[in-house]
């Protein structure tokens, strides 16, 4: 019976930024747990590959090209998913970007880019999908934030602000939408091996400095989020909302 709590059989999930990295890994984990998954990215080739791999798990999948920082794109995305898969039970807001920069040296353009990609996209997708979930009186929303959204870091001013915003948005929506039986939670990774961090982690000095802050002494892998996203999407987390779960190798406890 306990295993059934984690089953996502015949649920429908929508995962943004699912062409590669963390989003792809989470989309595949949801599919392996039985969910039908719609994957979204701006790059068609990436999400078509992800969608094909999802189908190999024996569930339905669909790929959607969209820029989730644009309200019209988000509206079309939700319409397409509802048209083909009929409902959305789970939303994973994973789209994100990072631009290194100290506050005094960074540009307003970089500031706006990080807010739009990391925070505005989460707001727009949550609002569009949340309306559908509120009508059905149930749903799970999982926002990918960052440990740096809580603890901060030099050279990451805009990133920290945007991810901190994701965490506060998560908490506010959890309170607002509890009456609709919608649970809203956040996953907060620290450093992860992805395409976005590849160049940075190739610098051994930087990699060593990052690992020195992690008690488990390794960089995270996209697969490290698999169990957490399935847990938050499933019945096993039905009494959990407004929470931030750190997946950071112990970085946050120091």
Q: What is the pLDDT of residue 150?
A: 95
Q: What is the pLDDT of residue 79?
A: 98
**Nearest to 68, CA basis, from 35, 45, 43:** 43
- Tell whether the torsion through CA atoms of 232, 210, 222 and 116 is positive or negative: positive
**Nearest to 88, CA basis, from 51, 36, 127:** 36
Are 67 and 73 in contact by the 8 Å Cβ rule? The answer is: yes
Residue 28 CA to residue 37 CA, distance in Å, equals 8
How many CA atoms are closer than 13 Å to the CA of 81, on its beta-carbon side? 30
Q: Is 139 helix (H, G, I), strand (E, B) or coil?
A: strand
Q: Which residues are catalytic?
A: 159
Q: What is the pLDDT of residue 2?
A: 81
Q: Is 215 helix (H, G, I), strand (E, B) or coil?
A: coil
Listed as ranges, residues in the chain with pLDDT below 50 are none
Helices (H) and strands (E) in the chain, counts: 10, 7
CATH superfamily of 3-253: NAD(P)-binding Rossmann-like Domain (3.40.50.720)
Q: What is the pLDDT of residue 233?
A: 98
């Amino acid at each position: 019976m306990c295993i059934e709590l984690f089953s996502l059989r015949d649920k429908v999930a929508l995962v943004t930024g699912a062409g590669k990295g963390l989003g792809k890994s989470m989309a595949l984990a949801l599919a392996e747990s039985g969910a039908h998954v719609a994957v979204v990215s701006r790059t068609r080739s990436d999400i078509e590959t992800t969608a094909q791999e999802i189908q190999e798990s024996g569930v339905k999948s669909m790929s959607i090209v969209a820029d989730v920082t644009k309200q019209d794109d988000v509206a079309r995305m939700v319409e397409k998913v509802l048209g083909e898969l009929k409902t959305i039970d789970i939303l994973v807001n994973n789209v994100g970007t990072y631009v290194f920069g100290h506050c005094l040296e960074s540009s307003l353009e970089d500031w706006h880019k990080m807010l739009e990609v990391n925070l505005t996209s989460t707001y727009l997708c949550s609002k569009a999908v949340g309306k559908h979930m509120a009508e059905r009186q149930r749903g799970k929303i999982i926002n990918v934030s960052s440990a740096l959204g809580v603890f901060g870091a030099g050279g990451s001013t805009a990133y920290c602000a945007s991810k901190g915003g994701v965490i506060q948005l998560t908490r506010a929506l959890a309170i607002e939408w509890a009456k609709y039986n919608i649970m809203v939670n956040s996953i907060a990774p620290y450093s992860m091996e992805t395409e976005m961090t590849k160049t940075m982690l190739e610098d051994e000095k930087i990699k060593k400095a990052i690992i020195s802050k992690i008690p488990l002494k390794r960089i995270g892998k996209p697969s490290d989020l698999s169990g957490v996203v399935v847990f938050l999407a499933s019945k096993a987390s039905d009494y959990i909302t407004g929470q931030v779960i750190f997946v950071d190798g112990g970085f946050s406890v120091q």
